[in-house]
Structures are given as structure tokens and as C-alpha cells.
Amino acid sequence: LGNIGSTLSRCVSRRHHQHQSVEVAVPRTPASAARRIRRHLQLPVQRWGACSVSESELEALKRPDFSNWDWPEEKLAVFLRAMFHDLRLTGRLGIGDGALDNFLVQVYQSYNRVPFHNFQHCFMVTQMVYCLVCADQLWLRVPRLELLCLLTAAACHDLDHPGLSNHWQRSAGTGLSACYGPEATLERHHLATAMSLVGRGLLSGLTAQEFRYARRRIARLILATDLARHSAVMAEFQEFFAEARLERSQGIEPLAVMDPERFAGKAKSQCGFIGGVALPMNSALARVLPCATECLLAPVQQQLRHYTDLLASTGSQQAQQAGGSELFSSN
């Protein structure tokens, strides 16, 4: 873990030795946007929450159907702070409001303006974790330090994502692949970036033993987000299709699931992902967190029904248009 923490500086020197790598410009979050977030966070903080977070909004954050699309990014940052305050993760662990605000601004600026793995995605994952913690009242049997690690890892799990997958990093021989190796390239980069943030202030109030434990737990949680471990179709379609076009332009053969020329359809892929990954994982988690069963299973089952119906409807329409031909051809 200590080696990962110093990887960012080593990456810079390694990139100078890459002769055949393909690097793509990443749309960064501008500093002006980060300053806007900071100004909003510097407004007066209320007890157990943050400025402009009402009781009804806090209760809404605890629901699995909370919609982040209804709020501007400044408010989402305030909501994130309210989650840390509501779970009592600040004062009891030596985290001041200033340290938390700095961390949230750095997290915001470290997410790039890419189609999927952006600050909106960061918020959605963190809010769902918060929802599960509240639904099962985990603070009654889980130490606050563990909850801090969980919420922090959720916020940091895709930091500085370039919008191009591990498959692209390996195939294009990018600087990230050279730095972190061919396995879990991005997850290791997210972790290194996270360690550079949390060590500057968020975890500085912990004891040395707590600090070491928190780093290990956050590392384990972030590295566990590598979807290659699940052998399933990933569903970030916008980024994947853009990546496939870029790969073809560079003479790299895209993965079939990411290639719009061979892709079998969003509904079919979503059914495969939800039925093969999301539903089994959430079902297993529901056995551990029985009080959170509704939060875990109801939304997933609803989405599976939606895409199953959509797939059936699409198949019927295409069958009629093709005179009864098969919906999907084999590749």
C-alpha cells in the first residue's frame, strides 16, 4: 500500500520511456468549477448537517430512489458533507469541517468531465452506500472508523478516471498501464489518487494505528471495484462506444460488448448485467443486511423487469420487420 501511495510521482518519469503508447486528452474539471464548490461549502454549517440541507432532503438521501439529476453539483457536494455529518464521522474521529471541505473539493476536482465515471457517478455510489448504512442502522454494530472508510472509498473509487477502460489502457500501452501494470490498472490509479488526498487532512486526526487500518480498508474497497473480477458485461455504454470508435481509429480491436457495430443491444446487455452481476451480488448482500433488503433488491428487480419487457418488445418489433428473422445474429 505504501508503494501505491508513491506511484503517482514514479509514473511521471516512466512515461518518458514510453515510445509506442497512445495517449488521449482527458477533459478535466476546471479549477473555476472547484472554486465554486468551495465557496458553496464555506457557507455556515448547521449542526449534524450542512447549509441548506433540510430534514426532508436528508430523509430523501436515505432512499434508493433519490435522484441526483434534480440538483446542481454545488448542492450534491453539500449533500455529501451532510452524509459525513449525519453519520457522526467528523468530530469523533478528529475530522474538522475544514478538512472535510478540502477533501470534498479535491474529490470533485479529481473527477474528470467524462460521460460516465464523473462526479455524478461518484455521488450516486456514495449516496447508495449511505442509504444502505442508514437502512440497516450499521452504526449500531459497525465502528465509526469502518463507516468512514466505507464512505470515503465510495467517494474516491473512480478518482481521475480517464473515461477509457482497462482494456484500452492495456491495448494502447498508455502511461497508466506502464505505471500500474496490466491488471486492475485504473483501480490502482484511483487508489493512488485517493491516498494522495486522504493523507493530506481527512485522516490526519486519526491515531497512527487507525490511520494504517483506514488506508488498508480503503485500499481493499477501491481495488474490489474492478469489474473484471465478475466476468460480466459492463454497462457504461456512452464511454464504451466512444472508446470502441477510438480503438478502431488506432487499429485496436474493440471488445465486442463495447463495439456499437457488434453490440447486441442495450436491453439485452442490461439484462445480462443485472441478472448475472447486480441481482446475485445484491441478494448476497441482503442476507448480510436484512433490514436493507428493500433498498438492495427492489430497484434492481424493477430495472430487470423494465429491460426484460423492453427486450421482448424490441424483439417482437424486429421480428415483424424482418419477417420473423432472429433478433440477434451471432458474431
Confidence of residue 238 (pLDDT cuts 50, 70, 90): low
Residue 259 assigned to a binding site = no
Residue 54 CB contacts under 8 Å (≥ 6 apart), including other chains: none
DSSP SS3 for 236? coil
Please give the biggest Cα pair distance in the chain. 70
Amino acid (1-letter code) at residue 237: F
Confidence of residue 88 (pLDDT cuts 50, 70, 90): very high
Amino acid (1-letter code) at residue 288: V
When pLDDT is averaged across residues 304-322 and rounded to a whole number, the result is 72
pLDDT higher than threshold 90 for residue 106: yes
pLDDT tens-place string over residues 125-147: 999 999 999 998 999 989 999 99
pLDDT higher than threshold 60 for residue 7: no
As a whole number of angstroms, the distance between CA 100 and CA 104 comes to: 6
Residue 157 assigned to a binding site = yes
Q: Which H/E stretch holds residue 133?
A: helix 119-135
For residue 37, what pLDDT is reported? 96
pLDDT tens-place string over residues 170-184: 999 999 999 999 999
Residue 85 assigned to a binding site = no
pLDDT higher than threshold 80 for residue 44: no
As a whole number of angstroms, the distance between CA 118 and CA 176 comes to: 18
As a whole number of angstroms, the distance between CA 109 and CA 119 comes to: 8
| Domains of the chain, each with CATH number or no CATH | 2-230 (1.10.1300.10)
Radius of gyration, CA atoms only, the chain: 21
For residue 250, what pLDDT is reported? 81
Catalytic residues: 117
Cell of 139: 452504526
Residue 121 CB contacts under 8 Å (≥ 6 apart), including other chains: 111, 158
pLDDT tens-place string over residues 250-265: 888 776 556 666 555 6
Listed residue (64, 56, 108, 114) closest to 242, CA to CA: 114
Distances (CA, A) of 185 to 4, 60, 172, 189, 239: 12, 36, 13, 6, 17
pTM for this predicted structure? 0.78
